[in-house]
Amino acid sequence: MLSGLIKYILGIFLALAVLVGGGVAVALYFMNRTGIAPAKPIFSNDSPSVKAQAPKATEPGSKSTSTPGATTQSSPKSTSTPNTTESPKPTPSPKPLPSGAYRGRVSWAQGLILRAQPNQDAERIGSVGFNQKIIVLEESEDKAWQKIRLENTEQEGWVKAGNTEKTNEQ
């Protein structure tokens, strides 16, 4: 009788130990899985990283390429002179505003999707960032969409109305 009671109590303790051990193992597994940050997703409309755009430094003694307007030295005794072989390119004048158009900026904090047509199912042709300068060219008949032109790229497309605001810039 005493041996049966000891076996019963020992069985209960063993069952509790297995349950507690399994619970701790599961808890540690999930804590370790959530402690690792996932990789940053890369989307097709993301701009390339700044590191990829930065020019590489030249090593001492290697030939470097010169850019228009840069100075070159051929010997320690010579003086630096600007490179005048290329004529300066005139800056393109911005397109005049069509009648009814006005300058504005994007007021939606997440930016906007630029679409080919004034509807939700139209092809996405780009995006417009928050506070980016735009030119509002026209509105759709139902006043739900605006046709805009980006000032820096001259790209045109449609965005949802109400997400831009008029600016007083000329």
Average pLDDT over residues 2-23: 94
CATH code matching the domain that covers 102-166, chosen among 2.40.128.20, 3.10.180.10, 3.10.20.90, 2.30.30.40: 2.30.30.40
Show the tokens assigned to 2. Answer: 């005493």
- What's the gap between Cα 136 and its chain centre? 23
Across 54-58, 154-158, 161-165, least confident range: 54-58
How far apart CA 152 and CA 131 sit, in angstroms, is: 13
In the predicted structure, residue 67 carries a pLDDT above the cut 90: no
Rounded to two decimals, what is the model's pTM? 0.44
- The per-residue pLDDT for range 24-37, each reduced to its tens digit, is 999 999 888 887 77
DSSP β-bridge partners for residue 82: 71
DSSP state of 78: S
Name the pLDDT band for 74 (thresholds 50, 70, 90).
very low
